[in-house]
Structure 1
Amino acid sequence: MLPPIDTIIENFELIEDDDMRLEYLIELGRALPPMPDALRTEANRVHGCESQVWIDAGVAEAAGTPRLALHGFSDSFIVRGFVALMLALYGGKTPREAAETDGLDLFRELRFGAHVTSKRSNGVRAMVERIRRDAAALAA
């Protein structure tokens, strides 16, 4: 189970060592709830990622309010960590809130830009665009 996004941010702020930050990212990926094989479809595949990434967005009612319910997976340990970050950030928001949230701000806030390849940065951008597009469609 993933910790709340605020806890994840606080934990990253405490870790100065780049290798330890990467290890924590991988731990977050390991904490992702399993994504059912039935959701690993071409329709849920995120294009633009070097690794294979799947994200499924739906809506679940929470206290009478529709909230974004996300599943995600990647075949790469590091990328799975980025999937976990995005799911922690966007999951539980209303579809409208999610559509208006820029996950790249979190990516920059956690200082990942300088420590990951441009292909991985592009993959995170593709995940953010996909989640925001799906959230906007669910909000409509």
Structure 2
Amino acid sequence: MTIEAIQNEIIDEFSMFEDWEERYQYMIDLGKDLPIINDQYKTESNIIKGCQSKVWVHAELNDDKIEFTADSDAIITKGIIAILIRVFNDQHPKDIIDANTDFIDKIGLKEHLSPTRANGLVSMIKQLKLYAIAYQTQIK
């Protein structure tokens, strides 16, 4: 499935909810379903800088696609990273690098986050794309 198709699915899912309380609950539920990062990757070097909460992300390149795992110590933040992992997981590095993240504005996420969480969201996207840039150089 393409990044754009996944983003459109997420937009459709968020449009089903009446208010932001329901959307937050949905994000929390997504976070609960997030494939948990192995404890060996919960290291200082895998913490996303710029997040108020602790967010760990690990990436591996398999068959020219990046597989992400993550965790967070905060339930809303865990839901946010779960959404981003869903979009970018099992995708080619170039597709991640080139991906537009307008879907975040379309679901209204950034405007319903505190300024520190919104900054954390930007930091998460930046880090996932940095992993993609690093792995892109390894593909022939």
TM-score, normalisation: structure 1 = 0.89
2:106 corresponds to which residue?
109
Contact in 2 for aligned 1:5/1:85 (Cα 8 Å): no
| Aligned counterpart for 2:125 among listed residues 121, 124, 128 | 128
Distance 1:70 1:122 in 2: 21
- Is 1:19 the equivalent of 2:21? yes
- 1:114 is paired with a residue whose SS is helix
Alpha-carbon distance in structure 2 between the residues aligned to 1:8 and 1:108: 12
Kindly state the Cα deviation for residue 13 of structure 1 after the two structures are TM-superposed. 1.4
Cα distance in 1, alignment partners of residues 72 and 135 from structure 2: 23
For residues 45-88 of structure 1, give each alpha carbon's deviation from its aligned partner in whole angstroms, at most 9, with x where no partner exists. Answer: 10100000011111112xxxx11100111000000000001100
Indicate yes or no: 2:91 matched with 1:90.
no
Range with greater deviation from structure 2 (6-15 or 121-130): 6-15
- Partner of 2:71, secondary structure, is strand
CA distance in 2 between partners of 1:102 and 1:121 (Å): 17
**Residue in 2 that maps onto 1:139:** 136
- CA change 1:19–1:29 in 2 (3 A) is same
Q: Determine if the alignment matches structure 1 residue 44 to structure 2 residue 46.
A: yes
Deviation of 1:18 after TM superposition, in Å, equals 1.0
Report the counterpart of residue 34 of structure 1 in structure 2.
36
Q: CA deviation at 1:102?
A: 3.7
Q: How many equivalent residue pairs?
A: 132
> Which range moved further: 90-99 or 78-87?
90-99
- Distance of 1:43 and 1:50 partners within structure 2: 16
In 2, the alpha carbon distance for the partners of 1:5 and 1:77 equals: 21
Identity of aligned residues (%): 27
Q: CA deviation at 1:100?
A: 1.5
> Counterpart of 2:3?
none
2:83 match: secondary structure: helix
Q: 1:43: how far off?
A: 1.2
TM (norm. structure 2) is 0.89
CA RMSD of aligned residues (A): 1.3
User: Where do 5+ consecutive residues of structure 1 fail to align?
Assistant: none
Cα distance change, pair 42–92 in 1 and its aligned pair in 2 (3 A): same
